[in-house]
Amino acid sequence: MTGRVLAMAAPFIKHEPEAGEPMRAAGLEVIHGPARTPIATDRLIELLAGCAAVVASNECYDAAVFDALPELRTVARWGVGYDSIDVAAATAAGVIVTNTPGAVTESVADQTFTILLALCRRLPEQMEVARSLQWRHVEGAELWRKTIGIVGFGSIGQAVARRAAGFSMRILACDPRPQPWAMGTLGATPVSLEELLAEADIVTLHANLTEESRGMIGEAQLRAMKPSAVLVNAGRGGLVDQAALARALREGWIAGAALDTLEAEPPDADDPILTAPNVVLTPHMASATAETAARVNATVCDNILAALAGRRPQFVVNPQVYETGVRPPLAGG
């Protein structure tokens, strides 16, 4: 088959040319965009001109993009979340949207515990003390036998629960579509969000970002947590009212926060979260491992090759598009 694919996802571009080799072997041309750079719709449309597919990052794909690009057949999201894609508009335009569920699960769960441990053991402060040669006592807190509340008990939430079991933690789980077999197997107790916030020593967020879940952790929820509790977000920045969180940290409503993702990435230089006390920040790197990159890159290529050849990809976000009508496959697929 012949056609052009635009790569916008930094982890894909980083591992080029190996990442795109399956597509090149099929006859496709792979070009690179400005990875990890906020991009205006007009510029995205310009880059996508003549492309049949895109390896998408967090840039916005809306009706204006689909209307301007009749040759675009599929948007292949690098990763799990697709809140930057207007799925309804894609479906109406006949564009197939795919993602890569499962491929990032273990690395995100690892990062959840990495930043949680860094926060509770005050690791950044310990490192500063060690390098200063002015050694002093920096006292942290244990995770052993604490209560962890997992909001969103899908594959990543369940992977976090498996790690929590290693710390002999009590596990609470809140999910709009609970899976009793998974909770039973992992020793998790299903609870409401209100119960979870009131009882958990650690609240960790792994819910999908939707219009209903956006800002689900705001002032009321932060005030409902224990003053000794901490919040972890390695999911989506939009799940948290960031201004309320910064205030909660300054005023001591909660003891701390560990964040791998923010509402705006990167944040403005004067964002209050950057100067809030007792916060550990990482730059949305939960899936940044070589192993994850290899898995996701392979799945992205599989999704694109199937979509462009007229086959149904394994991971389709908008299966309704096959009922309403998809844009035609590439010749030679």
What are the residue numbers of the active site?
Answer: 236, 265, 284
* CB-based contacts of 230, cutoff 8 Å, min separation 6: 116, 119, 120, 201, 202, 203, 254, 255, 256, 257, 258
Bridge pairing between strands 170-174 and 256-259: unpaired
Name the packing angle between helices 105-120 and 155-165 (round to 10°). 50
How is 171-194 classified by DSSP, letter by letter?
EEEE-SS--HHHHHHHTEEE--HH
DSSP E strand boundaries for the chain: 3-7, 28-32, 53-56, 74-77, 96-98, 147-151, 170-174, 188-190, 202-205, 230-233, 256-259, 279-281
Residue with tokens 């990159």: 293
Residue 89 and residue 67 in contact, taking contact as beta carbons nearer than 8 Å: no
Beta-carbon count within 10 A of 124 CB: 14
Amino acid identity for residue 21 in this structure = E
- Closest alpha carbon to 146 in 255, 251, 278: 255
- Closest alpha carbon to 125 in 141, 113, 103: 141
Residue 326, SS3? coil
> How far is 5 from 300, CA to CA, in rounded Å?
11
- Closest alpha carbon to 232 in 134, 322, 136, 113: 113
Sheet hosting strand 279-281, strand order edge to edge: 188-190, 170-174, 147-151, 202-205, 230-233, 256-259, 279-281
